[in-house]
Structure 1
Amino acid sequence: MAFKELCTLMVQKLSGGEDLILATIIDEDGSSPRSAGARMLVGKGGRLHGTIGGGAVEFKALELALELLEQRKSRRKTYRLRHNDQEDLGMICGGDVDVYFQYIQGEDERTIALLRECLERLDRDENLWLITDLTLLSSWVMTLYGTETPSSVPDLGDSDIKQLTRSMPVLADIKERRIYSEPINFAGKAFIFGGGHVAQALEPILSGVGFRCVVFDSRPEYVTRELFPGAYDLVIGDFGKIGDRIKITPNDYVVIVTHNFDAVVEEQILRNECAYVGLIGSKTKTAALKKQLSQMGFSQEILDKVHAPIGLRIKSETPAEIAISIAAEMILERALRRERD
């Protein structure tokens, strides 16, 4: 997870006494290379992590970040990505990006403690937001807010928190304060049933885009750290009794790629509510499974929620190509779900 990597690096650098600038896109208008929430961490040696879009805007932002690092100051700046503008950067995007350059002093105990708390809470199954008060740029305040273990956000009521805790980054003026809030973690896991070639190609892609992957198989040799080094968890269990080892929640995503046990796994999954269910197989196979489940009493409404055959239609054939099509469909479903929330 990119944000976890960022937090880990910041704790390391700050604990070692190094000053940092965290450049964050807090707002955008029109077309821009990156959207709100994109970050770039800068140290005395230059860019350390992340990107806010590359090209001219990132070059200019990096220059300013190094200047602010020397001055030990925070600043907010808008970059206009329009031709013939006073600050034309020679880009054709046609939009603007508002960047907050956050100066963080080395050995800042308050920020280090917050980042360590963030690292601990990123491993929990909770929705989590990072809220930054930008009213006074020189004395910004960051706070974590989570649905499971909420932290108190100073002087903000329930209606204010509701406005700030959305599925997308928010820049809001509340009670004469300017506040930026960004979701950094969402509850739910991605359960991959079957540890074969498709699963082995899929897990690194999903883990790289923020899904916490749990791989489940009945064969111990297919559920190892050598095969799935980036998985959140590995589970060896009976495909006929998955409830003995795991619990599916409404926030979870499910990928069924067992081949030999698809029907028995799908039957159990459909008895639970979840965010996404995808089943591998040809149209003939998936249609036969759908008919079989219908005869078992599952409604058409429930069966229609299953993505079968799984993945976007990109004429994929190899395990790697199939994995890309599955990941693309899951990213799309996650984005649509967040828009609805």
Structure 2
Amino acid sequence: MIFWQHILDKLQDNQKLYVLTVIENFGSSPGRKGFKMLVAQDGFIFGSVGGGVMEFALVTKAKELLQEKNQPTFIKKQIHKRNIKDGSGMICSGEQTVAFHCLDSGNIPVIASIVSCLKNGEKGTLRLSPDSFDFLNKLSGNQFEYQINSELDWFFEEHIGFRETLYIVGGGHVGVAVSETFVNLGFYVVVFDNRENLNTLENNNFAHQKSVVNYKNIADYIPQGNSSYVAIMTNKYTDDKLVLSQLIRNKYKFIGVLGSVAKLETMWKALLKEGYTQEELDVIYAPIGLSIKSQTPEEIAVSIAAQIIQIRNLERG
């Protein structure tokens, strides 16, 4: 959201700016679909379309155009090999196509809609073409949809808003660190705890939502689906077991439980005795997070983030 807020601030300051968007990439391109930069008239730059000498050249081009009378919309292919047509100056292989759109005060309503959408946890679709920079209420089925027929005939659509939500059950110190990490990764973050007046929950300024709930009803607060990720980290074994027993037979993208191997083995034995199957337990990520010998809340948050990113990106290919 910071990116779009910067754009809104500049437009409200009556500045023109270019938005550079990667709309296609192949191979080992440093810029991936959806990467963006803004280049404002006052020299302010934010974001990235891949870095290096390529990005420097693209930014220079945007700055030059902002000094001219007219600012065209166009796309520019960048092939990451030296000494060829459309070469970017980089040698990492792959290629990418970058769209240039100049925005001015007339685009304030569109950008304000995007900022509002992100603030409220809503969703929509950014649509780019040679003659448009729009935000639509419709949702596309995929994160990106695009087609490039020629330099004058193309479109790019991107799902804007939170596609994925992390539900953290347990509002302690680890929950705070995990909240911060996942907000920075673009997740919508919801934290639950069953304790009233819990200091770490009340002071968690990273989570988008926080609630005190009865863990016996936890399933009522976590919608099933491929965009729901669940991290269980309550303050005691019995609550971890209670929460997991309420969720284990529901369909989520990810369920993980924080805890030592010994604690989890005890929990597994108890759940098996209660009628849960080994197959049901095998889909739980426990101990949660990649094994990196993490100890502090911040290190644990990194290990959980790495695991969830790995699972999400492997499916995306």
Shorter-normalised TM range: 0.7 to 0.9
C-alpha displacement at 1:208, in angstroms? 0.1
- Counterpart AA for 1:144: L
- Per-residue deviation, residues 64-91 of structure 1 (Å, max 9, x unmatched): 0111212322222122221332455442
Separation in 1, partners of 2:249, 2:85:
60
Task: Give, as a single letter, the amino acid of the residue that structure 2 aligns with 1:103.
Answer: C
Q: Where does residue 59 of structure 2 map in the other structure? A: 62
How big is the shift at 1:125?
5.9
The aligned amino acid for 2:187 is F
- What is aligned with 1:32? 29
For structure 1, the 5+ residue unaligned runs are 148-163
Say whether 1:131 aligns with 2:109: no
- Report the alpha carbon displacement of residue 103 of structure 1 after superposing the two structures with TM: 0.8
Task: State the 1:178 CA deviation.
Answer: 1.4
Which residues of 2 match residues 109-128 of structure 1 at below 5 A? 111-123=107-119, 128=124
Normalising by the residue count of structure 2, what TM-score does the alignment of the two structures yield? 0.87
CA 1:210 to 1:286, structure 2 compared with 1: closer, same or farther past 3 Å?
A: same
Counterpart in the other structure of 1:242: 218
Structure 2 distance, partners of 1:299, 1:128, is 40
After TM superposition, the runs of 4+ consecutive aligned structure 1 residues lying more than 6 A away are none
Aligned counterpart in structure 1 of residue 132 of structure 2, from 140, 144, 150: 140
State the Cα deviation string for residues 37-59 of structure 1 (Å, max 9, x = none). 10000101224321112210111
Map of 1:95 onto structure 2:
94
Equivalent in the alignment of 1:280: 258
Contact 2:224 2:252 in 1 (8 A): yes
CA deviation digits over 1:223-245, x for unaligned, max 9? 4453x21210111223333356x
Measure the CA separation in 2 of the matches of 1:300 and 1:336: 25
For 1:329, the aligned partner's letter is Q
Kindly state the Cα deviation for residue 124 of structure 1 after the two structures are TM-superposed. 5.6
- State the 1:323 CA deviation: 1.2
How far apart, in 2, do the equivalents of 1:225 and 1:101 lie?
43
Among candidates 245, 253, 269, match of residue 267 of structure 1: 245
Distance 1:334 1:128 in 2: 21
- CA change 1:103–1:125 in 2 (3 A) is closer
Tell me the CA shift for residue 300 of structure 1: 3.4
Give distance in 2, aligned partners of 1:95 and 1:28: 7
| Pairing partner for 1:255 from 224, 227, 231 | 231
SS at match of 1:120: helix
> Are 1:46 and 1:66, in contact at CA under 8 Å, matched by a contact in 2?
yes
Which residue does the alignment assign to 1:161?
none
Contact 1:126–1:186 (8 Å) recurs in 2 = yes
Query: What is the identity, as a one-letter code, of the residue corresponding to 1:304?
Result: D
Would you say 1:328 and 2:303 are equivalent positions? Answer: no
What is the identity percentage for the equivalent residue pairs of Structure 1 and Structure 2?
A: 32
* Structure 2 runs not aligned, ≥5 long: none
SS for the counterpart of 2:98 is strand
Give, in angstroms, the shift of residue 146 of structure 1: 3.1
2:198 is paired with a residue whose SS is: helix
Deviations 1:19-51 (A, max 9, x none): 110011111222122211100001012243211
Q: Read off the aligned partner of 2:138 and give its amino acid letter.
A: G
| Paired AA for residue 78 in structure 2 | Y
Distance 1:169 1:313 in 2: 36
In structure 2, give the amino acid aligned to 1:140. Answer: S
Question: In the alignment, is the contact (CA less than 8 A) between 1:26 and 1:171 conserved in 2?
Answer: no
Aligned residues: 310
1:256 Cα deviation from its structure 2 partner: 0.7
Q: Give me the CA root mean square deviation.
A: 2.5
| Alignment map for 1:1-341 (pairs within 5 Å) | 4-71=1-68, 72-86=71-85, 88-105=87-104, 107-108=105-106, 111-123=107-119, 128-134=124-130, 139-147=131-139, 165-168=141-144, 170-173=146-149, 177-219=153-195, 220-226=197-203, 228-243=204-219, 246-250=221-225, 251-260=227-236, 261-338=239-316
